[in-house]
Chains A and B, each alone.
Chain A
Amino acid sequence: MRKHALMRKAACVALTAAMTLAMAGTAAFADEPIVVGGIFNITGDQSSLDEPTQQGFELAIEEINAAGGVNGKMLEAVYDDGKTDTAVCASNAKKQINNDGAVVLAGFSDSDFAYAAGAVAQEAGVPFVFTGATTPDIPSTVGDCAFLCAFGDDVCAHAGADYAVEELGAKTAYVLTDNSMSYTTNLSDYFIERFEELGGEIVLQDYFASGDYDYSAQIARYQALGEEAGILFMATGPDDASTVIEQYRSAGVTGPMISGDGWDTDLWGVAGDLANQDVYVCTHFSSDDDSEAVQGFLSAYEEKYGKAPENAFAALGYDTAYLIASAIEACGDDVTPAAIRDALENTQDFPGITGTISYSAETHVPDKTVVVCQAEDGLLKFRKNI
């Protein structure tokens, strides 16, 4: 009996070992697709940014596969909804790395989710390209596996201050800050820093928390100043944008408003025509660009989804997929997370439709151009590249 049991155990071990070897063998030799993970907040507050991002990303993946894949291998994108919840985002990252075998991850338009999911990827040594997150210190906080596809908030807010001073002639500024998000508090700080550097004066900075639907106290306080500021810098997320415009404009506030890429969203939903009155957005991309690459993206997107890209985040998703593909291509046959990370870091002058991306060991935040647009007749019209 004893001898039999022992032999059975030995047989089991041998069999398991053989199976493991066999599986490893197939993985190494067969032409299996390369799994790329995409985590986007398709539901919740972030959905107006993340849904277009995912659609842009998917469009690029399809184009890459239709053109023969990367080094002869197909890309397989797996998507999970982060539900605008940091905990869900983190567990999705874990799932995509451990269960789906993703070798590189992409996603997020807001930094809070980037920190949460980025930490998981960093621990596993899997590179993560953040499509639209813009806090410049993400790579230094999360680690060397984190890359931003978009410019940093500092660059964005500085461009806003430059535009306000140079093009709109602003000497005084009012700043409204949503203090429940790190994106908006950072954006305000960078704007104030640059605006004061340029010799401007901040007449008032006021705060609210995302989800407050009543801004009458803030508006009354602003109006009590007695005169309009040269520029109103409105650091809010996409959800509050239209409501903020509607209430400020309805109350008779006429000063020009400017904001960051969070306002590259439907500004007209609640505000209607009021959004066409002197509202500027500093963002990543303008569909007014008539270069072949941009126009090609626009028509491909429209053909696939039956509508023009909702905002610049679709373009960021599209660029991220091509950026990842170019890094995988540079890896040759050695498609491992570590090799992709190294290849990403060595990216030089990658020509995206949202600008040119270069990384180095020192910085994983690309130095890209900011596009300033003005809200006009339901669209964001190109004004200036900064």
Chain B
Amino acid sequence: MINSAYFMSMLISGLKLGSIYAIVAIGYSIVYGILRLINFAHGDIMTIGVYIILMLMNQAGVPIPAALLISVAFSVGVGLLIERLAYRPLRDASEETTLISSLAVSALLQNMLQMVFSAQRQPFMLPEALRTTHKIGIVNLSTINIITFISTAIFLVILHLVLTKTRIGTAMRACSENLRAARLMGVNVNRVVMTAFAIGSGLAVIAGFLLAGEYKTVYPSLGFVPGLKAFCAAVIGGIGSLGGAVTGAFIIGIAEMLFAGLVPTTMTAYRDAFVFLLMVIVLLFRPNGLFGGSETARS
């Protein structure tokens, strides 16, 4: 039953998932790197973005690129608002406190979406042109899949350049290494954190667009689990390493699909559990992730 074509199709599905997780994970990695905040609401910002795109497309007839841009701008605003209201007052609190705060934000956002848009799944149809499948060798990929792969690479390069070549990027890396020391050195921490949230929220919306487009549907809890998996990816890859976050995302995407495809059928339903178990196992052997440098506890 397990032939190479079957294996390849699992692998390709894994790559598709992985590239979407990757876009979320690089945003997540930056936020987590600076604040050590496990942001449960990250995936829900992604969902909000998808609903905004859906409304703009269906009700206002806005073309997709414009809808995407407007949605990114709106969601960045939401991300910044959440940071200001729910996380900044807790800047000096323990990691557990902010984690719980983010869980509350996540529940709030999901319930708000449910009240506004109902809990029903709604179709999210991209135009035919984006859904056409191309046969490349033995592999079938849709236009949106190819766009996903390319945009993952582009975002990775852009972010890398921002982090290494710009002033704010240097400040972000400094904050990631030691928030308190950076503040003492005159780095405007609030500005750094806001930039990180803006980048994270914007990327999440783009990933949400690709995810909803691939599976053709949107519902209030759509982003929650992918958000958590992106967190796993960032942790597996090693916090602070963008390449690590992307690698972690592909590892998770591929491992998830191979797990679902190769285990006995009675186990296929436990793929999410497997992903989280994978993170635990990696952390047991590499507490700083695969690409994370050895890190002393932050003061």
Contacts and interface: CB of A to CB of B under 8 A. Distances in A.
A243 B222 CA distance: 13
Interface in A178-232: 178-180, 204-209, 211-214, 216-218, 220-221, 224-225
Contacts of B221: 211
Contacts of A45: 119
B114 A212 contact: no
A243 B216 contact: yes
B260 A217 contact: yes
B121 A242 contact: yes
Contacts of A44: 114, 119
A47 interface: yes
A345 B8 CA distance: 59
B123 A209 contact: no
B121 A216 contact: no
Interface stretch (B240-248, B268-276, B291-299): B268-276
Interface string B204-245: 000000000001110101100100000000000000000000
Interface string A316-332: 00000000000000000
A182 to B, nearest CB: 14
A216 B265 contact: no
B260 A218 contact: yes
A206 B261 CA distance: 10
A243 B215 contact: yes
Interface string B252-277: 00000100110001111111100000
A226 B2 CA distance: 12
A65 interface: no
Contacts of B119: 43-45, 47, 84
B217 A270 contact: yes
A208 B268 contact: yes
Interface stretch (B9-17, B60-68, B149-157, B176-184): B9-17
A236 B6 CA distance: 25
A243 B1 CA distance: 26
A33 B216 CA distance: 49
Interface in A9-55: 43-45, 47-48
Interface string B90-126: 0000000000000000000000001000111111000
Contacts of A205: 265
Name, among B118, B222, B265, the residue most crowded by chain A CB atoms within 10 Å (CB to CB).
B265
B59 interface: no
A243 B214 CA distance: 11
A343 to B, nearest CB: 37
A209 B269 CA distance: 5
Interface in B178-192: none
A204 B123 contact: no
B265 to A, nearest CB: 4
A43 B117 CA distance: 11
Contacts of B222: 213
A270 B125 CA distance: 8
Contacts of A243: 121, 215-217
A239 interface: yes
Name, among A43, A84, A208, A221, the residue most crowded by chain B CB atoms within 10 Å (CB to CB).
A221
B215 A213 contact: yes
9 contacts: A47-B118, A48-B120, A84-B119, A180-B269, A204-B265, A207-B268, A214-B13, A216-B9, A217-B13
Interface of A: 43-45, 47-48, 84, 178-180, 204-209, 211-214, 216-218, 220-221, 224-225, 239, 242-243, 246-247, 269-270, 272
